[in-house]
Structure 1
Amino acid sequence: MIDRVNSDTTRTSTILRPRRLALLGTVAALGVAVLAASPVSTPFGVSSLISPAQAAESAATPQGFGDLVSKVKPAVISVRVKIDQDNDKSAMLQQNRMDQDEESPFDQFSRQFGFRGPGGMNGMPHQRHQMVTGEGSGFFISADGYAVTNNHVVDHAQSVQVTMDDGTIYTAKVVGTDPKTDLALIKVDGNKDFPFVKFSDQKPRIGDWVVAVGNPFGLGGTVTAGIVSASGRDIGNGPYDDFIQIDAPINKGNSGGPAFDMNGNVIGVNTAIYSPSGGSVGIGFDIPASTAKLVVAQLKDKGAVTRGWLGVQVQPVTAEIADSLGLKAARGAIVDNPQDGSPAAKAGIEAGDVITAVNGTAIKDSRDLARTIATLAPGTSVKLDVVHKGDSKTVTLALGELPNERQAKAGNQSDDGKTQQTAGTPRLGLSLAPSGEVQGAGQKGVVVTEVDPQGPAAQRGIQTGDVILNVGGKAVSNVAEVRSELAQAKSSGKNSVLLQVKSAEATRFVAVPLA
């Protein structure tokens, strides 16, 4: 069947070729104006007119990427690393083991490096202290030899070598890495001005052309083209996910390489792919240039990245949470718990508050809040727009510094996630008891002693042992208070009620529909 289709396609092309050549000849001889006024016979016999705007757009469409590639390709490098395989902390080796245990379609490129040491590809046992090699990509951002790649490409590398487009090999050193965004800055010392490229100052539009250059499968200097498919992608890679999705084919070894716009500026750093098969299926993810610029600047200046710290655990505001709080739209981030001693706690931010804007810029959800705060330096004074118990107010505070062991907690579970949840009357399918009467439940709130698997609470993930601390914005300590708050919420015309629930994992808010 494939051969037949190819044959048919060839014959069709042969039939259409004289007609296409004639049309091109008409354009060359008479110009666009005459063509725009003349009917054009299509291969299907349907007459149509080409407008001047369409003709101009067609003329502006790039006929190829040769000029662009010749301009930017010399700045792209292949990155080769050596790692002691006995180092169990090696990110690349950990990722390789994960490939054997997991079948997640989201593959970090570090899982896809072609390991060339024993056991890297053939599955044979490694010998202790055997050095293995891996390959990725990168690109120069300055004439004095600074280059960008991925953190997982050089993480725990014993040595780093880069190969330029002309085949010249240099030794590089790692200046700094940022695991949270998977970026790294390396430095090549040489006695020449290195070709380099710049980050784009503009966010690419969905549908814009994009050209990727890198070192897939160790081949080096490979160019692919496509379009920007989507933006703002969260693939669960880290707390600050905001990836650009592209369909330019990128494969094993492209990790850390650049994606260019038509002006030759870097719009993103190739980092991950969606790949059930392990190869390109046209879905790749890039770290945006806006993020890379901020991170690289800090790595160059300090060798590490410091981020602002607000000190809150937050979750998205769902439609049900918005309804229960009387909000007009399901936007912003609701505070589950301000951490003791954090800037937020000192400024009076409380559990149940909804942060809707930072410095006047609206916050979409909890992840947007985490990304926004992370771009600000410790000590920065910020203004937060907050909805507190139905009233809007502005809180001004100075950000702290995000400790290395902490990560911004931007919950992305929906309300039916299996964590803590809601309150109890027969309408919700819960049996409750004061926490003080149940050993180990503490002294605050009411504890869930039984859950009807068919009830609204069970559908929202409420489990036996969860403790309900707050119903509709008011603390509760017995079943009567829970019923009272539920009845008040119902009489107020609300379709759901917001509960603050504590489980073994954490404390968070859950909106439960009122039956």
Structure 2
Amino acid sequence: MFHRKSCIAFLAGLALLGQALSAQADLPDFTSLVEDASPAVVNISTKQNLPDRGAASSRMLPDLEGLPPIFREFFERSIPGMPADPGRGRQQEAQSLGSGFIISADGYVLTNNHVVAEADEIVVRLPDRSELTAKLVGADPRTDVALLKVEGKNLPTVKLGKSSELKAGEWVLAIGSPFGFDHTVTSGIVSAVGRSLPSESYVPFIQTDVAINPGNSGGPLFNLKGEVVGINSQIFTRSGGFMGLSFAIPIDVAMDVANQLRTEGKVRRGWLGVVIQEVNKDLAESFGLERPAGALVAQVMEGGPAAKGGIKVGDVILSVNGKPIIMSADLPHQIGSMKPGTTAELMVAREGDRKKLAITIEALPDEKEMLSSNEGSGAEKSSNRLGVRVAELTAEQKQSLDLQGGVVISQIIGGPSAMIGLRPGDVITHLNNTAIDSVSTFTKIAENLPAKRSISMRVLRQGRASFITFKLAE
């Protein structure tokens, strides 16, 4: 009996050991990938010359030569910009460190814009410790991509993959120089794709849990095939260090930018000419949508592609060329990747119907922000129900804001207007999906608003429009 129990325990142990070994065997082995890819991953260091403050500092202090050695040494070590030689200032330099990777045998290198921004000197160091001076071909701050060029022949290059085929849950690997430790390898999985960040509306980021730290910026993110699928760009952190949230620029986006920088010296991206916002549950209910989805058009730029193509304020853009807009941030990703001059088919929800609109995409202009003063004059009336006092817009204000109607808030009395954050100077152009053409129209609609139902209001503040929702009590 004892032998039988021992045999069963032994067999059970073997089974558990087998499972453990099998699980270990299922983990990826990155050694070959690292050996093949590392030669094309480089360290990037930059120098920026700063104004020389040494001479100015020395004029404010006594002649160091007249001081005892112990005090002279103290001043030289302790005071920034203090030259050892009182007759000569010391050149000030700011240095930064990052990573990059070679994409062509003749010396084109990809990295982040923030790694090389404002640099007076850029040095690329290869794995064999040889150093090459790099020239900045071009940079695109909107995507944080920069293209460098070094002089060389038959340089090692990375293999490029397709970030569009990347899926959440896949293994990925990063090689870079965190804190100056060259060719550090870290791995993890893809946490999400198409992630939007407030700082970059034109990049559908790859989110991973790969350990990324200062110095990794600009380095490659590889898939298990050894192909670059992204450029490690930034992390989310509250401590300054890695917290499990890393973001990479998709290589498809980066290469499109690099090719434009290489051939044209600048990047041209698509522009629709609208200000959009997210559709939440209350807005979806207010606009008669089955569920929150799409991008709500809060403002249409005068003379822009959207205005020419018939898009109106209050439209909800549901898809572009058949591809759904799940979140509002999906729209800039899709439009920005389109070439100016191409035609996009947009499906929009308008007043309970679906409409298809053909829009000719134009190039994103450099400047499109317009700030205006919104102080009104003329007849004023109060809406006690909304807790606000409004006035007519002057003809000059309508012209400067490109409005046919609307009212400007002159005073916040309280109630719903105070609760939803309205301010004097805000211009109300729509209330409950109805355009406001005068103060009398506004007060009439306000007094007949339904209770306990989501109500939308379009507000223009400093030239920028947005929709807000609220509910009225009985």
What TM-score results when the alignment is normalised by the length of structure 2? 0.79
The answer as to whether partners of 1:432 and 1:446 remain within 8 angstroms in 2 is: no
- 1:459 is matched with which residue? 419
Cα 1:268–1:40, aligned 2, differ >3 Å: closer, same or farther? farther
Select the residue among 391, 402, 422 that pairs with 2:364.
402
Deviation at 1:327, TM superposition (A): 1.3
Secondary structure at the aligned position of 1:70 is classed as helix
Amino acid paired to 1:60: D
1:370 equivalenced with 2:332 (yes/no) = yes
Cα 1:222–1:123, aligned 2, differ >3 Å: closer, same or farther? farther
What does 1:414-433 align with in structure 2 at a 5 Å threshold? 425-428=383-386, 430-433=387-390
The answer as to whether partners of 2:107 and 2:153 remain within 8 angstroms in 1 is: no
Cα 1:339–1:195, aligned 2, differ >3 Å: closer, same or farther? closer
1:500 equivalenced with 2:462 (yes/no) = no
Select the residue among 70, 82, 88 that pairs with 2:47.
82
Q: State the distance in 1 between where 2:90 and 2:197 align.
A: 35
1:331 equivalenced with 2:293 (yes/no) = yes
The answer as to whether partners of 1:268 and 1:289 remain within 8 angstroms in 2 is: yes
1:321 equivalenced with 2:283 (yes/no) = yes
Q: State the distance in 2 between where 1:511 and 1:322 align.
A: 10
The answer as to whether partners of 2:389 and 2:412 remain within 8 angstroms in 1 is: no
Cα 1:225–1:509, aligned 2, differ >3 Å: closer, same or farther? same
Amino acid paired to 1:501: V
- 2:472 is matched with which residue? 514
- The C-alpha deviation readout for 1:54-84, integer Å capped at 9, x for no partner, is 986653322x422221111111000122222
Q: State the distance in 2 between where 1:203 and 1:468 align.
A: 45
Q: State the distance in 2 between where 1:436 and 1:154 align.
A: 48
1:445 equivalenced with 2:406 (yes/no) = yes
Aligned length in residues: 421
Cα 1:76–1:468, aligned 2, differ >3 Å: closer, same or farther? same
Over aligned residue pairs, what C-alpha RMSD do you find? Answer: 3.4
Select the residue among 14, 21, 38 that pairs with 1:73.
38
- 1:311 is matched with which residue? 273
Deviation at 1:41, TM superposition (A): 3.8
Deviation at 1:365, TM superposition (A): 2.9
- 2:189 is matched with which residue? 227
- 1:21 is matched with which residue? none
Q: State the distance in 2 between where 1:390 and 1:128 align.
A: 70
- The C-alpha deviation readout for 1:262-306, integer Å capped at 9, x for no partner, is 111112211112233323233322112232232222222222210
Amino acid paired to 1:432: R
What does 1:292-303 align with in structure 2 at a 5 Å threshold? 292-303=254-265
Cα 1:371–1:347, aligned 2, differ >3 Å: closer, same or farther? same
- The C-alpha deviation readout for 1:195-230, integer Å capped at 9, x for no partner, is 333233554333322221111222212112222233
Q: State the distance in 2 between where 1:470 and 1:295 align.
A: 39
Q: State the distance in 1 between where 2:382 and 2:395 align.
A: 16
Amino acid paired to 2:26: A
Amino acid paired to 2:40: A
The answer as to whether partners of 1:213 and 1:222 remain within 8 angstroms in 2 is: yes
Cα 1:321–1:83, aligned 2, differ >3 Å: closer, same or farther? same
Q: State the distance in 1 between where 2:201 and 2:164 align.
A: 23
Secondary structure at the aligned position of 2:450 is classed as helix
Cα 1:314–1:81, aligned 2, differ >3 Å: closer, same or farther? same
- 2:248 is matched with which residue? 286
- 1:181 is matched with which residue? 143
Deviation at 1:378, TM superposition (A): 0.5
Cα 1:193–1:438, aligned 2, differ >3 Å: closer, same or farther? closer
Cα 1:327–1:483, aligned 2, differ >3 Å: closer, same or farther? farther
Q: State the distance in 1 between where 2:141 and 2:470 align.
A: 37
What TM-score results when the alignment is normalised by the length of structure 1? 0.73
Cα 1:183–1:445, aligned 2, differ >3 Å: closer, same or farther? same
The answer as to whether partners of 1:434 and 1:477 remain within 8 angstroms in 2 is: no
1:242 equivalenced with 2:204 (yes/no) = yes
Amino acid paired to 1:377: K
Deviation at 1:484, TM superposition (A): 4.4
User: Which blocks of at least 5 consecutive residues in structure 1 are unaligned?
Assistant: 1-34, 88-121, 408-422
Secondary structure at the aligned position of 1:242 is classed as strand
- 1:124 is matched with which residue? 80
